[in-house]
Amino acid sequence: MLTEELRHKLWKICRRTPFESSIVIRPELNPAPINLVEYFPSSVKSLFLELGSGWGEVVIELAKRNPSTGYIAFEKKWNRLKQTEVEASKLGLENIALSGINFQWFLEDLFLYETFDTILLNFPDPWPKKKHFKNRSIQIPFLELIYNLLKPGGKFLFATDHGGYARWSIRKLREFEKLKWKDQEYSFERKDFPISEFEKEKRDEGKRIYYLDRFKA
């Protein structure tokens, strides 16, 4: 549990925006959840959240393909967010919003339950040493939060190239029975979905990618 003093210190770190943009979300810490209507045109009918968007290749491509979906990209490294912002501006995309807030610290503070149609978490840090397993994103409280943020029928998309983390995540998802799988528990491909440069590099290295996609029944 974070103390209130530490929470506010971490929040200040997250809000240090090195550039200004109308598509950067900068909420206060303790008011009502973010009003996402402010960030998207009225033509947006569904919402997609990417946790750890990297250089933005996936969210940019998805936003190009699906103009009626609003995409919220969380990435704690501001140079990566800046590149995403530049690319979105260049392409004239109005259905992207960005945040540098660390989702592992503050995600539960930011959104109303049943907000998102899809939540994506691709290639988080696997924390491969046993003593660091507690730092892995895929934990039961995190899965509970994902479940709450999804609309009924919403999807949670997860991928890792780390075999140990894949097995860990399968066990956690089996334990957390509210998120269901459809055709198969995991797969080695995700059809018709854009990939990042990081994923391309891993594929080129011969790494196996594990996709553990679930939905909220």
The 3-class secondary structure across the chain, one letter per residue, is CCCHHHHHHHHHHHCCCCCCCCCECCCCCCCCCCCHHHHCCCCCCEEEEEECCCCCHHHHHHHHHCCCEEEEEECCCHHHHHHHHHHHHHHCCCCEEEECCCHHHHHHHHCCCCCEEEEEEECCCCCCCHHHHHHCCCCHHHHHHHHHHEEEEEEEEEEECCHHHHHHHHHHHHHCCCEECCCCCCECCCCCCCCCHHHHHHHHCCCCCEECCEEEC
- Locate 168 and state its tokens: 């860990």
Residue of 81, 74, 138 whose CA lies nearest to 107: 74
CB 188 within 8 A of CB 165: no
**Res 194: pLDDT:** 97
Q: What is the CATH number of domain 130-217?
A: 3.40.50.150
Q: Where are the domain boundaries for CATH 3.40.50.150 in the chain?
A: 1-112, 130-217
CA distance 96 to 55: 14
Query: For each successive 10 residues of the chain (217 residues), what is the average pLDDT?
Result: 78 76 81 83 96 96 98 93 95 95 85 96 96 96 97 98 97 97 95 96 96 96
Superfamily of domain covering 1-112: Vaccinia Virus protein VP39 (3.40.50.150)
User: Around Cβ 13, how many Cβ atoms within 10 Å?
Assistant: 13
Q: What's the pLDDT score for residue 90?
A: 96
Token pair belonging to 182:
């459809």
What is the dihedral angle through the alpha carbons of 86, 156, 30, 39, rounded to the nearest 10 degrees? 40
So what's the pLDDT on residue 177? 95
Catalytic residue among 117, 125, 183, 213: 125
Examine the residue annotation and report whether 109 is marked as an active-site residue of this protein.
no
What local confidence, expressed as pLDDT, does residue 1 receive? 61
Residues 202, 171 contacting (CB under 8 angstroms) = no
